[in-house]
Amino acid sequence: MKIKSLSYKALGALLALPLIPTLAYAFQMEIATKNNYEGLTPQAHWNEMWSEVMWDITIIGAIYFAIALFFLFRYRRTEHNQVGKSPKLSAQAIIGWVVLPCMLFLGDDLFLFVKAFDLHNQMREVPAHAQTIKVTASMWNWNYDYGNGVDTDNELRVPVGKPVVFRMTSDDVIHSHYLNGYHVTEDVMPGRVTWEWIMPVKVGESVITCREYCGANHSRMYGKLIVMKQANYDAWMVSALADAKAESGHRIASTTVGKAIKNIAASKINKGQEG
Amino acid sequence: MGVIMGHEPNGKPGWPKTVKEWLFTLDHKVIGVWYLIGSIASFAVAGLAAMLMRIELGSIGPDITGDGNVYNLWLTMHGAVMILGFQIPALLGFVANYAVPIMIGAKDMAFPRVNAMSVWLLWSGILLALANLVIPDHFNGMWTGYPPYSTSDAAGNTALYSLVVIVLGMSSVFGAVNLACTVAFMRCKGMGWFQMPMTAWCVFTANIIQLIFVPVLAASVLLLSLDRYLGFGFYNPETGGDVLLYQNLFWFYSHPAVYVILLPFMGIIFEIFSASAKNMVFSYKATVFAVLAFIPAGGDVWVHHAFVAGLPDWLRVLQSFTTLLISLPFGLLMLSLVGTLYKGAIRYSGPMIWALGAWVMLIFGGLTGIPNALSSIDYGISDSYVVMSHFHYVMAVAGTMATFGAVFYWFPKLTGRICNEFLTKLSGITFFIGMNVVMAPLYFAGIEGMPRRYMDYQQFADNPTIVNAQYWSTIGAYITFLAVLLMLVAWIHGMLKGKKSSQNPWGSQSLEWTSAALIAGQGNFPSPVEVVEDWHPYNYIDNPKPTYITVASNS
């Protein structure tokens, strides 16, 4: 009787096992949110999480492989008529061999999940002072609209040290906006506006690619992200703004003339039909 | 035990002799072989498409085609034909049809005529899919067929895509009903549910999954054609539709489809492990429940295919968690596999080498699934080679090795001969090495940011990791190609000149080896089989022998 009740207690304790890493992590989470965006950018946080997951699966795999290799070597058939002698499991043993591994897996799952949830919150909460850039995808082009009349194709310029949020939509099919090194991907589709944000902390260039299949030139739909010093960025913006003004003035002129010609042509055709 | 002669109606063990008998057969074994031939042909086509893609990707710039449309045709064919033409028919067609009824002591499937219909629907589907290679407006919207691309003119013939999926889906549903009924009602006398071989359990569960989820897939692709040709606009935002609807419907089936493939091939690994180690499947009953747990567990995780598709954040986090829960039943199956070896008497036969390869790949594939399940990690690796490498490890490599292992395992029952052991092992080891050289470098290319479904990668020209990975991966493809050739040589040699097999070459306790003739004829067993309560397909120590029920003869 005593032994039995003890084993039930042990089972009960096992059920609480998955909670331990979660509770342990709750304390850490406090620290992580306090440090937000100061020491740990989302991309650095992602890298940290990635290496942790890699360690996690490597350790599980190594343990499993070690056991498997040992069995494969130790239990070779040496005699012709030899048969396996695995022990017959009692009902309790079967339950134990289900509950114990499941609790271990669940514990690891929860541990990773809570950490990933924390990272998710960081990656999906846009800082209030973020600059907004509108992204319009089309086959096969990325257009970046800076909101002040300036827009660029397949070239994205942002100042260093300032969070940027992208509000994205597509003119035709689904594309996916991926910024290499920042670990953000988000699909871009017609009829919806999706978003992602980055925190550039280093001056330099990286690749922008499309990550959702979008036809013949899917692999050629790429651009460049250029992170610039604030002064350089401001200088670029001033000249781009001047260009944009000249450009838009030209565009309005051409469309007005074009419309007038079209109207004349249309009226002539109508008259011809009447006659 | 000597060779037992089959009986009724031909009375002779062995295969039909005439072409007519082969074509109009209702015998589940002949139908199983038709499934096998169809799936191997599909594997050849889709494998060659993969080969062409690997050659193209070996270096930057156009190598054998500069045309994205041609490359995308190969890619579409590779995905669609491998999954719908090779894996599902090989596992739910060949294994389910050929092996499972004999394993459970049934004389045939529950509905032989429906069975014949399923296999010919499959062949129609495969021929329709191959037609995509020759028609001018070939469909190139990938096997996933996401709108609005797949409903645009650029995608080619959407109707063909819908038709192929619906025809193959019908074949699957008929097959699923048939097999579920066979397992439920046609087990031999005395065989309880918990005396069924793991393969039967896994195939049964996979078919239940098919029954629940295939109709959703059929609906989702039907709506594609309605959108494209009749302007219904289910997926068109301009008319009030939503492009995400398709992804929800499509993955609602297509994630469980992973388990439709995974479970039967794990069943095969169990079968080969147990027969090779002559050992009881570890914790058999619990393992069976773990298999069944895939039905609910696999059904509510489809959003992890759309973590970056603009779905609500709460849903991403929720299904990130449900996805992680898959590790519980999957972990139990992996535990049971290693447990089956514990205190076993392992003989490294040819099929065992293939099963071991499949198992190792399954460990890689299973573990690399964990980072993909975390939604926030997925923001960095979604649609990259990391994902591609992961699911190729599970489906393409583990699944294929187990499927071919199954062919080697049941080869003596198919032909009465055993494949040359050296060739079997050599092809298995070469395949294992080849596929690892293909897939492992691509995982690291994916971490560097290489997206999937690219025909070129000049934007990554200054990244040595990606460039080298692509190069080595192509070398691996050549090794794999060699392995497949070796395997074909092993099969053909085995068929023509292989050593004559004994009744039970692997020393299994399962009914197909102990109680049916080596090449079973129509009706499978000389007379109906009966097993007692203590009989178990994996009991190698003191298993009571199955007996025959003598039927009163007419004379």
B60 close contact with A: CB closer than 8 A? no
Give dist(CA B199, CA B406) in Å, integer: 11
Nearest to A71 among B332, B342, B453 (CB): B342
pLDDT band at B519 (very low <50, low <70, confident <90, very high): confident
Q: Report the gap between the CA of B98 and the closest CA in chain A (Å).
A: 28
* Range scoring the smallest mean pLDDT among A25-29, B7-11, B80-84, B250-254: B7-11
Q: Note whether B154 contacts A109, CB cutoff 8 Å.
A: no
Give dist(CA A28, CA B421) in Å, integer: 56
pLDDT of residue A253: 52
Residue type, B325: L
A211 close contact with B: CB closer than 8 A? yes
Four-CA torsion A92, A93, A98, A102, nearest 10 degrees: 100
B184 close contact with A: CB closer than 8 A? no
B266 contacts B287 by C-beta, under 8 angstroms: no
B378 pLDDT above the threshold of 50: yes
Give dist(CA B152, CA B147) in Å, integer: 8
- Kindly report, residue by residue over B171-199, the tens digit of the pLDDT: 999 999 999 999 999 999 999 999 999 99
> What token pair was written down for B140?
């190139």
Give dist(CA B29, CA B96) in Å, integer: 10
Q: Strand A141-145 and strand A131-138: pairing?
A: antiparallel
pLDDT band at B521 (very low <50, low <70, confident <90, very high): confident
pTM, 2 dp? 0.90
Q: Strand A141-145 and strand A151-153: pairing?
A: antiparallel
Give dist(CA A117, CA A112) in Å, integer: 8
Chain B positions touching A71 (Cβ under 8 A) are 338, 341-342, 344
B522 contacts B180 by C-beta, under 8 angstroms: no
| CATH superfamily of the A131-252 domain | Cupredoxins -  blue copper proteins (2.60.40.420)
Give dist(CA B390, CA A128) in Å, integer: 37
What is the side-by-side strand order in the sheet with A131-138? Answer: A151-153, A141-145, A131-138, A164-170, A194-198
B3 pLDDT above the threshold of 90: no
Q: Report the gap between the CA of B322 and the closest CA in chain A (Å).
A: 10
**Positions in chain A whose pLDDT score sits under 70:** 1-9, 11, 13-39, 249-275
**A188: exposed, middle or buried (Cβ count in 10 Å: 0-12, 13-18, 19+):** buried
- Kindly report, residue by residue over B444-468, the tens digit of the pLDDT: 999 999 999 999 999 999 999 999 9
Give dist(CA B526, CA B532) in Å, integer: 18
ipTM of the complex: 0.89
CB pairs < 8 Å spanning A and B:
248
3-state secondary structure of B111: coil
Helices (H), B231-349: 243-254, 256-277, 284-299, 313-325, 327-341
Nearest to B376 among A78, A105, A123 (CB): A123
B270 contacts B198 by C-beta, under 8 angstroms: yes
Residue carrying the six token digits 């499937």: B109
> What token pair was written down for B398?
């583990």
pLDDT of residue B17: 85
* Range scoring the smallest mean pLDDT among A8-17, B127-136, B337-346, B351-360: A8-17
Residue type, B287: T
**Among residues of chain B, what percentage have pLDDT more than 90?**
79
- Kindly report, residue by residue over A167-185, the tens digit of the pLDDT: 999 999 999 999 999 999 9
Q: Report the gap between the CA of A17 and the closest CA in chain B (Å).
A: 15
B338 pLDDT above the threshold of 90: yes
pLDDT of residue B1: 32
Q: Which residue of B has its CA nearest to A222?
A: B459
pLDDT of residue A5: 65
Nearest to B540 among A84, A209, A210 (CB): A84
- Kindly report, residue by residue over B127-146, the tens digit of the pLDDT: 999 999 999 999 998 999 99
DSSP one-letter code for A36: B
Which residues contact residue B485 at a Cβ distance below 8 angstroms, ignoring those fewer than 6 apart?
none
pLDDT of residue B550: 77
B555 pLDDT above the threshold of 90: no
pLDDT band at B360 (very low <50, low <70, confident <90, very high): very high
Distances (CA, A) of B308 to B312, B367, B378, B389, B514: 10, 21, 8, 19, 52
Report the length, in residues, of chain A: 275
Q: Which CATH class is domain B19-548?
A: mainly alpha
Phi/psi at B198 (nearest 5 deg)?
Answer: -60, -35
Give dist(CA B435, CA B479) in Å, integer: 8
Phi/psi at B384 (nearest 5 deg)?
Answer: -110, 180
Asked if omega into A140 is within 30° of 0 (cis), the reply is yes
Distances (CA, A) of A160 to A125, A150, A198, A204, B174: 19, 19, 11, 9, 60
Q: Note whether B375 contacts A116, CB cutoff 8 Å.
A: yes
A46 contacts B377 by C-beta, under 8 angstroms: yes
Q: Report the gap between the CA of A244 and the closest CA in chain B (Å).
A: 28
| Number of C-beta neighbours around residue A270 at 10 A | 10
Give dist(CA A229, CA A158) in Å, integer: 9
pLDDT of residue B62: 87
Residue carrying the six token digits 């109508």: A270
Chain A positions touching B148 (Cβ under 8 A) are 172-174, 189-190
- The three-state (H, E, C) secondary structure of B449-507, written as one string: CCECCCCCCHHHCCCHHHHHHHHHHHHHHHHHHHHHHHHHHHHHHHHHHCEECCCCCCC
Q: Note whether B243 contacts A192, CB cutoff 8 Å.
A: yes
Give chain B's mean pLDDT: 91
Q: In angstroms, how far is CA A202 from the centroid of its own chain?
A: 20
> What token pair was written down for B170?
């019908």
| Number of C-beta neighbours around residue A253 at 10 A | 10
Q: What is the domain partition of chain A in residue ranges?
A: 2-74+92-123, 131-252
Q: Note whether A46 contacts B344, CB cutoff 8 Å.
A: no
B516 contacts B525 by C-beta, under 8 angstroms: yes
Give dist(CA B200, CA B183) in Å, integer: 7
pLDDT of residue A2: 57
CA angle B447, B449, B455 (to 5 degrees): 120
Q: Note whether B454 contacts A83, CB cutoff 8 Å.
A: no
Q: Report the gap between the CA of B161 and the closest CA in chain A (Å).
A: 16
Residues 31-50, chain A: which have Cβ within 8 Å of B? 46, 49-50
Four-CA torsion B372, B377, B379, B384, nearest 10 degrees: -50
Question: Does residue B190 come out as left (phi exceeding 0), alpha (psi in the -120 to 50 range) or beta?
Answer: left
Q: Note whether A77 contacts B278, CB cutoff 8 Å.
A: yes
pLDDT band at B66 (very low <50, low <70, confident <90, very high): confident
Q: Which residue of B has its CA nearest to A95?
A: B286
B121 contacts B167 by C-beta, under 8 angstroms: yes
Q: Note whether B146 contacts A174, CB cutoff 8 Å.
A: yes
Distances (CA, A) of A13 to A2, A7, A16, A91, A100: 17, 10, 5, 19, 11
A253 close contact with B: CB closer than 8 A? no
Q: Measuring CA to CA, which residue among B142, B136, B181 is closest to residue B161? A: B142
- Kindly report, residue by residue over B261-285, the tens digit of the pLDDT: 999 999 999 999 999 999 999 999 9
Within 13 A of B308's CA, how many CA atoms are on the CB side?
A: 30
Chain A positions touching B154 (Cβ under 8 A) are 139, 173, 215-216
B428 pLDDT above the threshold of 60: yes
Q: Measuring CA to CA, which residue among B537, B279, B282, B519 is closest to residue B410? A: B519
**Among residues of chain B, what percentage have pLDDT more than 70?**
97
Q: Note whether B68 contacts A217, CB cutoff 8 Å.
A: yes
Residue carrying the six token digits 């350790």: A59
CA angle B267, B271, B276 (to 5 degrees): 150
> What token pair was written down for B427?
């092809």
B117 close contact with A: CB closer than 8 A? no
pLDDT band at B216 (very low <50, low <70, confident <90, very high): very high
Average pLDDT of the segment spanning B314-321 = 91
